[in-house]
Each structure stands twice: as C-alpha cells, then as structure tokens.
Amino acid sequence: MKQAVLLILFLISNALFAQKPCEYSTNVTDSIGSYKSTKEYMIYEKNFAGNKSYIFYSLSLTDDLPTLNLQLIQKSKDFLKANCFDKNSKLFLQLNNGKVITLLHIDQENCGSMVRDDNGFDNRILVGTFVFLKGSFEDLKTSPVNMMRIKYLTDLEDYVIRKEFQSELNNQVYEPETYFINYINCIEN
C-alpha cells in the first residue's frame, strides 16, 4: 500500500513539473551558423481605461548563445510615453525562492516604433533582446517567477507575473509564472 501511494505521488509530481513540448517559430542551420526561436508567449496583459499593454517572451539560441526576446506592445488613444532600451538596460526576474535573476540587454539602442491603426489607436511596439548570465538556468528551471522589473534608458517599471490568466486579446489561457520552467529546455545546449 505504501508503495502505491509513493508511486501516485511520483506520477502527480511529474505531471505538475513536466516541461511543455518545444514549438519553434524559427529553426535554421546553415553555413553561417544556427538559430532557433520559440513561439511568442504572452507574459503580461493590462487593459485599463482604454489603454492596453501586452508583453510577450520568446527564447532564442543563436550559435549556442541563449537569449530572451521581449516584445512590449502598448495601445492607446492618449499619449504613449516612449521607453527605450540601451546598453545599460536590464531585466530582473524575482523568483518564488527569493532569488533575483538578471538579464543584460544587448548593446543596441531601441525606442520602438509607433503605428496608428484603423480604429485611431496609437500602437507602440518595443522589442528587446536580453542575454542570460552564466548559472541562471538552474534556478529558472525550478522556481516560478513572481515579479519582473525592466530597467529602461530613463525609467524603471515593475510587472507582477501572475500564475495564470485568460487573455482578453485572444481568449487563451497563459501560465506566465512557470514560463521558464516549461520552456527553458528549448534553448539549452
């Protein structure tokens, strides 16, 4: 009886911490090198008073260099403040185990682009690529993320990472807290 209980607990824990299958938007190897990138995944969504913000992640591996790609989309009929990435920008991930993981932005200044849609909304799209520091994968594989801080060129913003939410944009259910637990294996060497 004791063995049966242990077996059931083992199977349940494996189901809870099972990694998701890797789905790539790009996976190319040629004479120049190799590049693969996971599909974009919504990490954050805010819809308040006609202003909308979305943050998407994707993981990439370029010639054995793992990176996190972040895309921030803001929609509003009001003025949208421009946040920029530069060589000093950083992304901080606070984990449930108390540790903070720091990712460094690549040396490329970017203030995003503004696009007006047919409904009169201004859409600011900002894309950044962040490099993982050595030794950060192990904690990301085992501990959920509960907070993200982005250091922009002139500003600092915090984002609460939820365990789960249903997106108003596309009605899909996302689990951003366990994003790295589920997908970091997709870019490991």
Structure confidence at residue 135 (pLDDT): 86
Work out whether strand 156-160 and strand 145-151 pair parallel, antiparallel, or are unpaired.
antiparallel
- pTM for the model: 0.86
Structure confidence at residue 13 (pLDDT): 42
Structure confidence at residue 166 (pLDDT): 96
Secondary structure class of 76 (helix, strand, coil): strand
Distance CA 152, CA 88 (A): 8
> Which residue blocks in 83-145 are alpha helix, DSSP H?
137-142
Structure token pair of residue 148: 């993200």
Distance CA 23, CA 180 (A): 14
Structure confidence at residue 182 (pLDDT): 97
Structure confidence at residue 73 (pLDDT): 95
Structure confidence at residue 18 (pLDDT): 55
Residue spans of the chain under pLDDT 50: 2-17
Query: Dmax of the chain from CA atoms?
Result: 66
Domain boundaries, the chain: 23-187
| Residue pLDDT, tens place only, 34-59 | 899 999 999 999 999 889 999 999 99
